[in-house]
Amino acid sequence: MDAKRQNFSSAIERIKKMLGGGKIRLMEVCGTHTVAISRAGLRQLLKPDVELLSGPGCPVCVTPASDIAKVLWLAEQGITIATFGDMMKVPVDGRSLFHLKARGSDVRIVYSPIEAVDIAESLADGEVVFVGVGFETTAPAIAGAIVDAKDRKLKNFSVFASMKTIPTPLDIICRSPQIGVDGFILPGHVSAIIGSKPYRFIAEKYDKPGVITGFEPEDIVDGVFRLAKMISNGTAGIEVSYSRVVRPDGNVAAKRLMEEIFELCDSEWRGLGILQNSGLKIREEYSDFDADYRFKIPEFPDAKDNPACQCDKVILGLLKPNQCPLFGTECIPTNPQGPCMISSEGACAAYYKYGE
């Protein structure tokens, strides 16, 4: 065993010893952490002393069917849709962007919002809508794309804004006895933007600890160690084990850019319903770049996910992916039945890929 691996194993042993046979339930909020945990086999190594639950930190997974139905509607109007690849296969009422593309809609996969601006500039006529799904990690780049489109004087670029903010659902999870979380492994990337302060309510209001960690197995184990220590000592605080990237105030320039373009709004989450002030909408001053405003998109309150899919429970830690009856049989990455198997950050995809 190399020295790094040995340190890692002895850290896990120290966690178990510290808990002295007691059991704790921790939630990793971020989808990237879910994948890193599955890849390193941490869930297996830590159990039964530490149970790791996956949370609502996969942006595609928490986007509700009603918003995806709106994007499908836009594609059917002859508008060019630019989207991250994970959104392509998410089914709503048995249809997806992938299906519409196969039938002739202009749907293009992009790797950054700026690529969507480039597409708009390259089209002589025709509208381009970027599907703005994501958390505070992605929002500054989307805000930057809007500023760039304005600077280029583009009149055919807009964003379908379905962005969400991470701290709000944690308030709901803290209050849920059904989920029963003792502490949180908090997201590294989102926290690099918003900082550590927005999570203070978790400790102050609910007396639960949280640790912001990086994505290497050693980072995550350090986070679990700090959480186990606080829980064992009966203390609660928000610690940063990723201080090489995360500051208490976050990235001030990125936050300023986001605030210039977006404002908070109520937003619907899969599994959680409408949460007050949990989303980001485009400010009125930039409404020319707001797809909702430009195209008067209708509401789709009756849009339905696959009724057999249980992603609404998976993203709240109420169900482990492998407890879904479809997992690994009818639902596999090549034939996914829900967003948690489709998204590269989805818990079902991570469990399946790494054999949990």
Residues of the shown chain interacting with ligand SF4 in the complex, contacts defined by CB under 6 A: 309-311, 314, 321, 324, 326-327, 331, 337-338, 340-341, 348
Maximum separation of any 2 CA atoms in the chain, in Å: 68
Cβ distance to ligand SF4 smaller for residue 140 or 336: 336
225 or 327: CB nearest ligand SF4: 327
Which of 291, 293, 339 shows the shortest CA–CA distance to 113?
291
Nearer to ligand SF4, 113 or 339 (CB): 339
Q: Cα separation of 178 and 317, whole Å? A: 10
Distance (Å, whole) CA 100 – CA 29 = 32
Identity of the residue, 154 or 340, whose beta carbon is nearer to ligand SF4 in the bound complex: 340
Output the smallest distance, CB 33 to ligand SF4, in A.
Answer: 18
Minimum CB separation of residue 299 from ligand SF4 in Å reads 25
| 346 φ, ψ (degrees, to nearest 5) | -75, 145
Min dist CB 305 to ligand SF4, Å, is 8
Of 60 and 74, which has the nearer Cβ to ligand SF4?
A: 60
**Residue 63 vs 165, nearer CB to ligand SF4:** 63
SS3 at position 340: helix
Q: What is the DSSP string of 134-186?
A: E-TTTHHHHHHHHHHHHHTT-SSEEEEEEEE-SHHHHHHHHH-TTT--SEEEE
- Cα separation of 101 and 343, whole Å? 19
Strands 183-186 and 210-212, how do they pair? parallel
